[in-house]
Chain A
Amino acid sequence: MDAIFESLPQYWDGFLRTLFLAVISGVIALIVGTILAAMRVSPVAALRGFSTFYVEVARNTPLTIIFFFSAIVLPRLGIKFEQFEVAAVIALSTYTAAFVAEAVRSGVNSVPVGQAEAARSIGMTFTQVLGLVILPQALRTVVPPLINIMIALVKNSSVAGAFFVMELFGYGLQLTNSHGDAVMWILIGVAFFYLLITVPLGLLAHFIEKKVAIAR
Chain B
Amino acid sequence: MTTQVSGDELVSLNGVNKHYGQLHVLKDINLHVRKGEVVVVIGPSGSGKSTLCRAINRLETIDDGDIAIDGKKLPEEGKDLARLRADVGMVFQSFNLFAHKTILENVTLGPIKVKGMAKAAAEKEAMALLERVGVGHQAPKLPAQLSGGQQQRVAIARALAMKPKVMLFDEPTSALDPEMINEVLDVMIQLAKEGMTMIVVTHEMGFARKAADRVVFMADGQIVEDATPEEFFTNPKSARAKDFLSKLLTH
The chain A residues found within 8 Å of chain B, CB to CB, are 43, 112, 114-115, 117-125, 128, 132-133, 136-137, 140, 214-216
Most chain-A CB neighbours within 10 Å: which of B82, B155, B159? Answer: B82
The chain B residues found within 8 Å of chain A, CB to CB, are 57, 59, 77-79, 82-90, 92, 94, 96-100, 109-110, 113-114, 142, 144-145, 155, 158-159, 162
Please indicate the chain B residues that have their CB under 8 angstroms from the CB of A112 in the complex. 94, 96
B140 to chain A, nearest CB (A): 14
A122-B109, A123-B85, A125-B82 given as contacts; is B59 within 8 A of A117 (CB)? yes
A118–B113 CB distance below 8 A = no
Chain A, interface SS category: helix
B70 to chain A, nearest CB (A): 14
A118–B90 CB distance below 8 A = yes
Known: A118-B98, A122-B159, A214-B100. 7 other contacts (CB 8 A): A117-B92, A118-B97, A120-B59, A136-B100, A140-B100, A215-B142, A215-B144
In the complex, what distance in Å separates the CA atom of A118 from the CA atom of B94? Answer: 10
A118–B96 CB distance below 8 A = yes
A122-B158, A124-B114 given as contacts; is B86 within 8 A of A216 (CB)? no
Would you list the 8 A-B pairs with minimal beta carbon distance, nearest first?
A123-B86, A215-B144, A118-B96, A122-B110, A114-B96, A121-B90, A123-B114, A123-B85
Q: What are 6 contact pairs spanning A and B, CB under 8 A?
A: A118-B90, A124-B114, A125-B79, A133-B98, A214-B100, A215-B145
B85 to chain A, nearest CB (A): 5
Please indicate the chain B residues that have their CB under 8 angstroms from the CB of A119 in the complex. 98
Please indicate the chain B residues that have their CB under 8 angstroms from the CB of A216 in the complex. 99, 144
A114-B92, A215-B144, A215-B145 given as contacts; is B100 within 8 A of A122 (CB)? no
Please indicate the chain A residues that have their CB under 8 angstroms from the CB of B88 in the complex. 121
In the complex, what distance in Å separates the CA atom of A140 from the CA atom of B101? Answer: 13
B72 to chain A, nearest CB (A): 14
Output the nearest chain B residue to A116 by Cβ-Cβ distance. Answer: B96
A123 to chain B, nearest CB (A): 3
In the complex, what distance in Å separates the CA atom of A98 from the CA atom of B249? Answer: 58
In the complex, what distance in Å separates the CA atom of A114 from the CA atom of B175? Answer: 14
Please indicate the chain B residues that have their CB under 8 angstroms from the CB of A133 in the complex. 98
In the complex, what distance in Å separates the CA atom of A43 from the CA atom of B81? Answer: 14
Output the nearest chain B residue to A212 by Cβ-Cβ distance. Answer: B100
In the complex, what distance in Å separates the CA atom of A128 from the CA atom of B78? Answer: 12
In the complex, what distance in Å separates the CA atom of A202 from the CA atom of B87? Answer: 47
Output the nearest chain B residue to A133 by Cβ-Cβ distance. Answer: B98
Output the nearest chain A residue to B58 by Cβ-Cβ distance. Answer: A120
B90–A137 CB distance below 8 A = no
Most chain-A CB neighbours within 10 Å: which of B77, B94, B109, B155? Answer: B109
B85–A137 CB distance below 8 A = no
Please indicate the chain A residues that have their CB under 8 angstroms from the CB of B82 in the complex. 120, 123-125
Partner of B85 from A115, A121, A136, A215 at Cβ < 8 Å: A121
Partner of B96 from A115, A128, A140 at Cβ < 8 Å: A115
